[in-house]
């Protein structure tokens, strides 16, 4: 299984071995409504892959990487690392790069900010400026990330990227041979994209309800879907989700986040992570 070089908050790499066997094996068009770090999409076999995320900076970065050949991409990454003397300890270099990104919005600068930023977070303030602090002594562009990037890059070529709210994506042409995967922010266990309006909309109860409606509509048309979510976290239950899921199939996953960087999920909390499918 391929690992995305993004180390994305809420990324599904650790759950891939449990999730992928629950997916259909015959997929014509695969749509990832909340593609994030692409951990799922790069591991899918399908004729046509559509990856959507509301974060247009993230999608813009993937599109640029898709159009660069890997040698040019690596040269550019190493050039910028030297230019700003980026390292695990050089906070000033990181801040200078962050200032340049906020002025010029260069996509590869953004990739490096994610590599060197605290917990690899993609975090923006209300003015749309990238504001993740430096990941001192922990985060860097390293050999592991480079190897993941090299293995991952060819798979970008087969993807079609969209940057919009999940409610706006056109799914009218989908039919029974197609498959929609939804991995939204979880209402009761928040990632940093979900703790208010940091340049992007937060995630609220109404968003959950709108997503359930969209998935019900797909089900009415015979389109297969799978939804990742958390039913219970630290004693809080997502009651709408818990009611809605009863008309479909719920697969309980073993969400062992110990040793992971996804700190927003408390390792000791009783977290019931599920995959809900209509097939
Ligand atoms: C849990 S993450 C997805 C992680 C992804 N499955 C992976 O493995 O890396 C949720 C994603 O939903 C995106 N998002 C949040 N609100 C959205 C919306 N209204 N429409 C589309 N995407 C949204 C966030 O930017 C974030 O990347």
**Structural domain contains residue 3:** no
Enumerate the β-bridge partners of residue 228.
275
pLDDT digits (tens, 9 = 90+) for 120-145: 999 888 888 999 999 999 999 999 99
User: Which DSSP string corresponds to the chain?
Assistant: ----TT--TT--GGGHHHHGGGS-S--SEEEETT-TT-TTGGG---SEEEEE-S-HHHHHHHHHHHHS-HHHHHHHHHHHHHHTT--SS-HHHHHHHHHHHHHH--HHHHHHHHHHBGGG---B-TTS-B-PPB-TTT----HHHHHHHHHHHHHHTTEEEE-S-GGGS--TT--TT-EEEE-PPBTTB--GGGSS-SSS----HHHHHHHHHHHHHHHHTT-EEEEEEEEEETTEE-HHHHHHGGGSEEEE-----TT-S-TTS-TTS--EEEEEE--
Ligand 1 centroid from CA 39, angstroms: 12
Ligand 1 centroid from CA 92, angstroms: 30
Model confidence at 209: pLDDT above 60: yes
Give me the chain's average pLDDT, please. Answer: 91
Assess whether the C-beta atom of 141 lies below 6 angstroms from ligand 1: no
Assess whether the C-beta atom of 185 lies below 6 angstroms from ligand 1: yes
pLDDT digits (tens, 9 = 90+) for 214-226: 999 999 999 999 9
CATH number, domain with residue 36: 3.40.50.150
Test site for ligand 1: of 2, 31, 34, 195, most ligand atoms within 8 A of the Cβ: 34
Q: pTM of the full predicted structure?
A: 0.92
In contact, 253 and 274? CB cutoff 8 Å: yes
Q: Which of 9-13, 20-24, 244-248 has the lowest mean pLDDT?
A: 9-13
Q: Report the pLDDT value the prediction gives residue 127, as an integer from 0 to 100.
A: 86
**Structural domain contains residue 33:** yes
Count the domains in the chain. 2
For residues 245 and 256, the model is more confident at 245
Last residue of a domain, one of 153, 174, 192: 153
Q: Report the pLDDT value the prediction gives residue 264, as an integer from 0 to 100.
A: 46
- C-alpha 135/C-alpha 198 separation (Å) is 19
**Whether residue 168 sits in one domain with residue 145:** no
**Whether residue 82 sits in one domain with residue 174:** no
**Structural domain contains residue 132:** yes
**Whether residue 140 sits in one domain with residue 21:** no
In contact, 189 and 233? CB cutoff 8 Å: yes
Ligand 1 centroid from CA 184, angstroms: 5
CATH number, domain with residue 75: 1.10.1020.10
Banded model confidence at residue 269, pLDDT cuts 50, 70, 90: low
**Whether residue 149 sits in one domain with residue 68:** yes
Test site for ligand 1: of 2, 8, 54, most ligand atoms within 8 A of the Cβ: 54
If you count them, how many residues does the chain have?
279
**Structural domain contains residue 6:** no
Q: Report the pLDDT value the prediction gives residue 190, as an integer from 0 to 100.
A: 61
Residue nearest to atom 23 of ligand 1 (CA): 54
Assess whether the C-beta atom of 152 lies below 6 angstroms from ligand 1: no
**Whether residue 269 sits in one domain with residue 171:** yes
**Whether residue 76 sits in one domain with residue 114:** yes
**Structural domain contains residue 37:** yes
Enumerate the β-bridge partners of residue 52.
162
- C-alpha 192/C-alpha 37 separation (Å) is 14
Assess whether the C-beta atom of 40 lies below 6 angstroms from ligand 1: yes
**Whether residue 169 sits in one domain with residue 128:** no
**Whether residue 88 sits in one domain with residue 202:** no
Last residue of a domain, one of 153, 183, 199: 153
Test site for ligand 1: of 2, 3, 10, 260, most ligand atoms within 8 A of the Cβ: 10
Model confidence at 270: pLDDT above 70: yes
Model confidence at 162: pLDDT above 70: yes
CA 71, 77, 80, 84 dihedral sign is negative
Banded model confidence at residue 198, pLDDT cuts 50, 70, 90: low
Banded model confidence at residue 50, pLDDT cuts 50, 70, 90: very high
Assess whether the C-beta atom of 11 lies below 6 angstroms from ligand 1: yes
Which residues constitute the domain of residue 51? 13-56+157-277
**Whether residue 116 sits in one domain with residue 164:** no
pLDDT digits (tens, 9 = 90+) for 82-117: 999 999 999 999 999 999 999 999 999 999 999 999
pLDDT digits (tens, 9 = 90+) for 55-83: 999 999 999 999 999 999 999 999 999 99
**Whether residue 148 sits in one domain with residue 74:** yes
224-233 vs 236-237, strand pairing mode: antiparallel
């Amino acid at each position: 299984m391929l690992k995305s070089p993004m180390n994305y908050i809420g990324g599904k790499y650790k759950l891939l071995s449990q999730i992928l066997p629950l997916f259909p094996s015959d997929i014509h068009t695969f749509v990832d409504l909340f593609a994030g770090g692409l951990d799922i999409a790069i591991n899918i076999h399908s004729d046509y892959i559509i990856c959507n995320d509301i974060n247009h900076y993230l999608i813009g970065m993937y599109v640029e990487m898709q159009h660069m050949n890997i040698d040019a991409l690596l040269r550019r990454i190493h050039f910028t690392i030297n230019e700003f003397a980026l390292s695990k300890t050089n906070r000033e270099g990181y801040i200078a790069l962050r200032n340049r990104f906020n002025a010029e919005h260069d996509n590869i600068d953004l990739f490096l900010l994610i590599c060197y930023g605290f917990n690899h977070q993609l975090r923006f303030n209300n003015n749309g400026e990238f504001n993740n602090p430096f990941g001192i002594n922990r985060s860097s562009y390293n050999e592991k990330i480079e190897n993941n990037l090299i293995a991952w890059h060819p798979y970008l070529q087969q993807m079609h990227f969209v940057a919009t709210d999940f409610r706006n994506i056109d799914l009218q042409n989908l039919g029974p041979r197609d498959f929609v995967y939804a991995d939204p922010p979880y209402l009761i266990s928040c990632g940093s994209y979900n703790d208010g309006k940091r340049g992007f909309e937060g995630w609220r109860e109404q968003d959950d309800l709108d997503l359930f409606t969209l998935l019900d509509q797909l089900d009415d048309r015979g389109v297969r879907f799978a939804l990742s979510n958390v039913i219970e976290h630290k004693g809080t239950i997502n009651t709408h989700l818990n009611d809605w899921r009863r008309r479909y199939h719920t697969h309980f996953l073993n969400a062992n986040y110990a040793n992971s960087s996804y700190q927003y999920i408390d390792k000791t909390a009783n977290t019931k992570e599920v995959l809900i499918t209509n097939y």
